[in-house]
Amino acid sequence: MINYTTGNLLESDAYCLVNTVNCEGYMGKGLAYQFQKAYPENNKAYMEACRKGKLKIGKVFFFKEDGKIIANFPTKDRWREPSRIEYIQEGLKDLLVKLLSYNISSVAMPPLGSGNGGLSWYEVRKEIEREFNQISKKIDITVYEPSNSNNIKINVKPKKPPKIYLSSYIVAKIKSELNNRIEDKKLMRLQKTCYLFNFFYKKDYFKFTKHKYGPYSNDINIINRNIIEFKDYYNIENYNLVYDEIYKIIINKRIDEDINNIEQAIKFSVDYVNNINDDKQLECLSTIMILIKELKYQSELDIIKGFRKWSKEKSKKFSDKYIIDSIKYLEKTNIISKGLLGYFLV
């Protein structure tokens, strides 16, 4: 029979653990992120498989580490997209074949594609039972259902100290000085501060693209997770102490970069964001900046059109007046200036 439970799948005694992934090589949040920390070699192999185009929907990628078989199960093609029930159906068929061919005696799986994936657990459960009831006498199957309890928290201490780079130092410094402490729900402010760091540093140190809330860099999220892992690995209490420790590592490495200019750019970007209490305004300002950066010179009308073309959500969120007021704010605070051809970044 299939056993249903809740809790931490990573504590399961099952020989095979199913990890939900996408085909782009990004370990998402939640359980996938905990898998990344608990099984770092699996994560490397998974990323390499994605890079080579070997991981596809309907094909489960197996990897052995620390006496466990990790079944990397693609529930998404692209990491920002939702899961689809046909992805689950195709993947379950491949998982079943591989469990039998490798003579695996026990498997534990999460609620595939439910939760962050957006699928109905009722529908996913039906697919699991349709595919696995036929082998439930041969293999011990444990399925971890979605839990409504906020008390169940999965946190795995990294096995190795995360690697620290100059980018880690910059993000850690920003995190330590922002008024609103940056946790999972405040990553938007961290993103926008790093975007402003690029502006004040006069280099595209972090690579940004246009996204839902304006300029976005997935690298920032990865660096931020690295810092959290560093904090967890060394049991450091707060981010000020994390920054102190990272600073020592960077100085000991004798980084050749211009630390003084970096420190100045951090200060200017943090001070700028700390003076903006409204996340909506911060989104609008950074969106204007990236629109101007794209074409160098833009009129007020060009910028407004840029908002309207960005997305329906952004078009509804910001009125013409709000955008124009934000343009004036950027001009007043010397981020942009107006010339004969239109607005440009200072």
Q: Mean pLDDT for each 10-residue chunk of the chain (346 residues)?
A: 89 95 82 88 93 92 95 89 91 95 95 83 89 88 76 58 87 88 66 97 94 91 88 78 80 67 95 94 97 88 95 93 97 95 92
pTM: 0.61
Does 180 lie in the same domain as 70? no
Backbone angle region of 334, left / alpha / beta, with phi > 0 → left and psi within -120 to 50 → alpha: left
Residue 153 lies inside a defined structural domain of this protein: no
Asked if residue 55 lies in contact with residue 61, where contact means CB atoms within 8 angstroms, the answer is yes
pLDDT at 150: 41
Look-up of token digits 């810092």: 227
**Strand 342-345 relative to strand 61-65: parallel, antiparallel, unpaired?**
unpaired
Residue 312, Cα to own-chain centre: how many angstroms? 24
Predicted pLDDT of residue 152: 44
- Count of domains for the chain: 2
Question: Is residue 156, in this structure, part of any structural domain at all?
Answer: no
186 as an active site residue: the answer is no
**In which region does residue 271 sit, left (phi positive, over 0), alpha (psi from -120 to 50) or beta (all else)?**
alpha
Q: Which of 37, 68, 76, 173 is catalytic?
A: 76
Which domain range does residue 216 map to?
166-345
Does 170 fall in a domain? yes
128 falls within a domain: yes
122 contacts: CB under 8 Å, gap ≥ 6: none
Same domain flag for 275 and 305: yes
pLDDT of residue 336: 97
Regarding whether 64 and 9 lie in a shared domain, the answer is: yes
| 161 located within any domain | no
| CA separation for the pair 305, 307 (Å, rounded) | 5
Specify whether 86 is located in the same domain as 174: no
Asked if 205 and 75 sit in the same domain, the reply is no
Please report whether residue 157 resides in a domain: no
Is there a contact between 5 and 144 (Cβ–Cβ < 8 Å)? yes
pLDDT of residue 294: 86
Q: Which of 98, 80, 93, 236 is nearest to 158 (CA)?
A: 236
**333 in the same domain as 199:** yes
pLDDT for residue 154: 52
Residue 96 maps to a domain: yes
pLDDT of the residue at 329: 98
Cβ contacts of 164 within 8 Å, gap of 6 or more: 226, 230, 246, 249, 250
